[in-house]
Amino acid sequence: MLEKPSVVLMDDLAEGVFAASGCWSGLVASPQDLDGGGYHVFEIHLTHSKEVEHISTACTITLAFTGAVIDAYAENGWSCSVNGSTVTVTRPSHANAYKSGEEVTYKVWAKSVDEATTKALSCSITSYDCSKQTNVQGGGADGN
Ligand SMILES: [Zn+2]
């Protein structure tokens, strides 16, 4: 009978902010609660850890909203999908994020069922996914 090893390292707990992805962390700001098009404007700030060695080709985040989202879009036409109160955005990177601590800021627009609900929307990032490319030294295949 195989038993799945269960190892929890204290270092991992201390670096809880990176736990979701191993490398990306972030926060959300709300610079405008209603724009001319009836959307609530959110600003996403992401930082790639300097502690890992790989090239990141994209970062996909999941945003959990406090209310239903009927439409959303991201800066530069990046992939943005809506499912109830969950929005998933993929921000592609230039292949230069090798151990760079890259910082990314972009906007996401979200609209709810009416103006009042749209204004009241807030959201938080619930998951990060780093798309990786193996670097020339052969790193990056370690899950970091
Ligand atoms: Zn990464």
CA–centroid distance, 135 to ligand 1, in Å, is 12
Q: What separation in Å is there between the alpha carbon of 108 and the centre of ligand 1? A: 21
Dihedral class, residue 115 (left if φ above 0, else alpha if ψ from -120 to 50, else beta)? alpha
Give domain limits for the chain.
Answer: 19-133
| The 123-133 sheet, strands edge to edge | 80-83, 86-92, 55-65, 123-133
Q: How far is ligand 1, taken at its centre, from the CA of residue 127, in Å?
A: 13
87-131 pLDDT, tens digit per residue, is 999 999 865 556 678 889 999 999 999 999 999 999 999 999 998
For residues 79 and 60, what is the distance between their CA atoms, to the nearest angstrom? 9
> What does R_g of the chain's alpha carbons equal in angstroms?
17
Judge whether 123 and 66 are in contact, CB under 8 Å. Answer: yes
The DSSP code sequence of 113-131 is: SSHHHHHH--EEEEEEEEE
Residue 44 above 90 pLDDT?
A: yes
pTM of the model: 0.78
Distance 102 CA to ligand 1 centre (A): 10
Centroid of ligand 1 to alpha carbon of 89 (angstroms): 16
Least confidently predicted of 16-20, 58-62, 115-119, 134-138: 16-20
Q: Which strand (E) or helix (H) includes residue 71?
A: strand 71-74
pLDDT of res. 126: 96
What's the 24 CA to ligand 1 centre distance in angstroms? 6
- Neighbour count for residue 138 (Cβ, 10 Å): 7
CA of 23 to the centre of ligand 1 (A): 5
Rounded to the nearest angstrom, the distance between the alpha carbon of 144 and the centre of ligand 1 is 6
Architecture of domain 19-133: Sandwich (2.60)
Confirm if 30 and 100 have CB atoms less than 8 A apart: no
Residue 41 pLDDT greater than 90, yes or no = yes
Token pair 């098009």: residue: 37
